């Protein structure tokens, strides 16, 4: 790094130059930090031929025309001309004018530099032999890069101003090639068609269009030509991460506890940063800023949290930040993991059963937690905070209560030691006991139905590996009987594919064992029965609100039953009995809700249609022969419109 600094200073010291230099590096790697903290200070301290050099820095980020560059230069240099402004900036330790102060200011009036409203010639303010221009973020400008480089060339070639350009050439190349791609593709296709080349099968169409685009719109060559003319030397920026990260940590000096923790774990921060496989210091800054919030909340609400847990939180915050913000994964990879137990369950299944669909989680854990042992390695509140920018106190408390609970007083069920824990770390004699206890839990139907299905393939694996004496046929019998018992108390599993895919069950066509398919088939059958039971229970709860708790009925019917065919699961005669006891006003409201539902949701209506026909017949039988009253008229209208809705 010292060699790079000295090379840049040699360029500035040169008596005569007609070229600029470029500092090239990846986004977020600390190029701007390098300029501000090492290069700028050294240049500002240079004094040659009796003159002290002045640096003029400007970011090209977002500029939309060349005049904006001129304005930026004017704003940066005019402070040297205005005594009052200079006096104010010196008194307050200001070296540059804040960006917000530049925006929206009528510069001529503000600085008193224009007369009669005439346009200012910004170049008249330049004294060129003691200035060093620095243009940053070249690739982020909204102006054609060729035009910008041509503009900068005026300063370099004609005025011989020392000029440094900071950019990411990799992104610059991508931007040049991808700009106006739709227009380029359209024109290239049009030209190929006119030339009779479009329908020829000699080379793939995509390749043919790409070649035509490159031939007609060869901006890349234009860039290389002007770069060769303008840029005398290009320096590759290879940051000293230790130095920069120490500088980043300085921003937390005001928080004594936090800075002490971060300083003690600087090596941990460095290692996690390196394992991310990126050089993006900007993401690291954001991650550490997020961790400062996490550290503050943990210390405030859970001050006795173990130091090892805090270290794991630090690793996890940095790791998840890089995985999500560097675009290495989609946010969904972590979104569907609800807690540390499920995270560990995925790890166990991916290692034991080579479940390739969980390959990412296995790689994530193996990369960031390599040689770092911790039982609690996934924090949902941190993942949620990084992903959504919302610090959810409910999730935070749930995580922290689990982290800080007394593990000694909490007996882990045997089956969880197989599904969640790393069973291969258990001593052989204890493993036998775990297997026996788990089989008893399965046999007695004490587990959730979905967990029994998950466990089955583990036991198939144990049997084939000779870790247990039971053969697969015996296991199948135990598990099927256990599933039947468990179905009496289990809950319906709404996300079967997600649950089974996360843990152990491979695609059905990959099964070589008929026993596994039989277990799955029985599970789907029982799970469907659980769904029907859930719907029946919900229908019972909701319709029992008629007629005494109508407000509760309306609220629950609208919120909970939009996509659930509850009218299928409640006896038509009982529905009518409850409706007939309701007030006339409520009869009308119930009718409108049922009819609107039949009209708006065809899928649900198809499942409910048979019971609605029964309801109509019950109404017709009740109405027949009754004296006319308002309620009878309303029920007649109800039955008539119901018949129309169900095709009778």
Between vectors from CA 448 to CA 445 and to CA 452, what angle results, nearest 5°?
70
Residues in the chain: 648
What are the residues whose beta carbons fall under 8 Å from the beta carbon of 44, sequence distance 6 or more? Answer: 52, 53, 54, 55
Residue 45: its pLDDT value, please?
A: 85
3-state secondary structure (DSSP) of residue 550: helix
Write out pLDDT tens, residues 166-177: 998 877 766 666
Residue 268 corresponds to which tokens in the numbers above? 């941990």
Q: pLDDT category, 633, cuts 50, 70, 90? A: very high
Residue 502: its pLDDT value, please?
A: 53
Least confident span in 148-162, 233-247, 417-431, 482-496: 417-431
pLDDT, averaged across the chain: 81
Q: Which residue has the tokens 């022969």?
A: 625
Residue 172: its pLDDT value, please?
A: 77
Residue 639: its pLDDT value, please?
A: 92
Residue 404's alpha-carbon distances to 383, 395, 506, in angstroms, are 19, 14, 35
Write out pLDDT tens, residues 562-606: 888 989 999 999 999 999 999 999 999 999 998 888 888 888 888
Write out pLDDT tens, residues 56-74: 888 888 888 888 888 777 7
Q: Looking at the structure, give the CATH architecture of the domain made up of residues 2-176.
A: 3-Layer(aba) Sandwich (3.40)
Q: pLDDT category, 214, cuts 50, 70, 90? A: low
47-48 and 51-52 as β-strands: parallel, antiparallel, unpaired?
antiparallel
Write out pLDDT tens, residues 393-434: 999 999 999 888 754 445 678 887 777 666 666 777 788 888
Q: Which residues pair with 135 in a beta bridge?
A: 58, 165
**Helix ranges (DSSP H) in 112-204:** 145-153, 169-178, 181-194
| Entry pTM | 0.51
What are the residues whose beta carbons fall under 8 Å from the beta carbon of 317, sequence distance 6 or more? Answer: 287, 290, 291, 294, 382, 386
Tell me if the bond preceding 547 is cis, omega within 30° of 0: yes
How many angstroms separate the first and last alpha carbons of the chain? 86
Write out pLDDT tens, residues 356-366: 556 788 889 88
pLDDT greater at residue 37 or residue 445? 445
With contact defined as beta carbons under 8 Å apart, do 139 and 168 qualify? Answer: yes
Q: Check whether 79 has a pLDDT greater than 70.
A: no
Task: DSSP letter for 581, please.
Answer: T
Residue 21, CB half-sphere, CA atoms under 13 Å: how many?
A: 18
């Amino acid at each position: 790094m010292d060699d790079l600094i000295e090379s840049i200073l040699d360029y500035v010291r040169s008596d005569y130059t007609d070229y600029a230099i470029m500092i090239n590096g990846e986004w977020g790697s600390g190029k701007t930090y390098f300029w501000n903290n090492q290069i700028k200070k050294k240049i500002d301290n240079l004094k040659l031929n009796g003159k002290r050099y002045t640096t003029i820095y400007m970011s090209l980020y977002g500029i939309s025309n060349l005049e904006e560059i001129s304005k930026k230069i004017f704003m940066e240099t005019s402070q040297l001309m205005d005594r009052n402004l200079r006096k104010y900036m010196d008194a307050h330790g200001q070296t540059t004018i804040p960006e917000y102060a530049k925006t929206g200011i009528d510069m001529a009036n503000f600085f008193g530099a224009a007369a009669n409203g005439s346009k200012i010639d910004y170049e008249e303010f330049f004294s060129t032999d003691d200035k060093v221009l620095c243009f940053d973020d070249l690739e982020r400008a909204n102006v054609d890069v060729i035009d910008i480089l041509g503009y900068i060339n005026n300063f370099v070639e004609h005025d011989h101003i020392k000029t440094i350009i900071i950019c990411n050439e990799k992104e610059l190349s991508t931007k040049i090639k991808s700009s106006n791609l739709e227009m380029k593709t359209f024109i290239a296709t049009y030209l190929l068609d006119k030339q009779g080349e479009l329908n020829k099968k000699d080379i793939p169409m995509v390749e043919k269009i790409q070649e035509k685009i490159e031939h007609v719109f060869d901006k890349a060559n234009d860039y290389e030509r002007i770069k060769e003319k303008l840029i005398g030397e290009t320096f590759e920026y290879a940051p000293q991460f230790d130095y920069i990260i120490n500088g980043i940590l300085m921003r937390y000096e005001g928080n004594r506890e936090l800075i002490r923790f971060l300083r003690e774990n600087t090596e941990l921060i460095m290692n996690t940063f390196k394992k991310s496989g990126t050089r993006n210091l900007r993401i690291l800054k954001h991650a550490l800023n997020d961790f400062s919030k996490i550290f503050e909340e943990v210390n405030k609400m859970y001050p006795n949290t173990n130091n090892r847990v805090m270290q794991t939180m630090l690793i996890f915050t940095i790791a998840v930040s890089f995985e999500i913000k560097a675009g290495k994964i989609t946010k969904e990879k972590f979104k569907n993991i609800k807690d540390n137990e499920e995270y560990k369950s995925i790890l166990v299944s991916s290692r034991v059963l080579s479940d390739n669909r969980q390959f990412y989680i296995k790689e994530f854990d193996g990369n960031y937690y390599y040689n770092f042992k911790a039982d609690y390695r996934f924090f949902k509140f941190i993942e949620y905070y990084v992903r959504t920018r919302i610090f959810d106190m409910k999730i935070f408390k749930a995580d922290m209560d689990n982290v800080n609970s007394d593990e000694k007083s909490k007996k882990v069920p045997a089956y969880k030691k197989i599904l969640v824990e790393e069973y291969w770390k258990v001593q052989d004699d204890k493993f036998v006991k775990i297997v026996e206890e788990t089989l008893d839990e399965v046999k007695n139907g004490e587990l959730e139905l979905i967990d029994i299905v998950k466990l089955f393939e583990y036991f198939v694996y144990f049997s084939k590996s000779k870790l247990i004496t039971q053969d697969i046929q015996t296991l199948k019998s135990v598990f099927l009987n256990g599933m039947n018992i468990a179905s009496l108390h289990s809950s319906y599993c709404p996300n079967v594919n997600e649950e089974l895919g996360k843990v152990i069950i491979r695609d059905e066509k990959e099964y070589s064992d008929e026993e596994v398919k039989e277990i799955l088939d029985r599970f789907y059958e029982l799970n469907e029965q659980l769904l029907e039971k859930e719907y029946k229970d919900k229908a019972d709860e909701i319709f029992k609100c008629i007629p005494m708790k109508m407000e509760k009925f309306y609220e629950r019917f609208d919120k909970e039953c939009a996509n659930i065919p509850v009218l299928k699961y409640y006896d038509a005669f009982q529905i009518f009995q409850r409706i007939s006891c309701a007030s006339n006003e409520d009869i009308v409201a119930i009718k409108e809700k049922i009819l609107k539902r039949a009209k708006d949701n065809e899928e649900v209506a198809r499942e409910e249609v048979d019971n609605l026909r029964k309801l109509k017949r019950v109404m017709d039988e009740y109405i027949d022969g009754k004296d006319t009253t308002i309620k009878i008229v309303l029920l007649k209208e109800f039955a008539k419109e119901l018949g129309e809705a169900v095709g009778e």
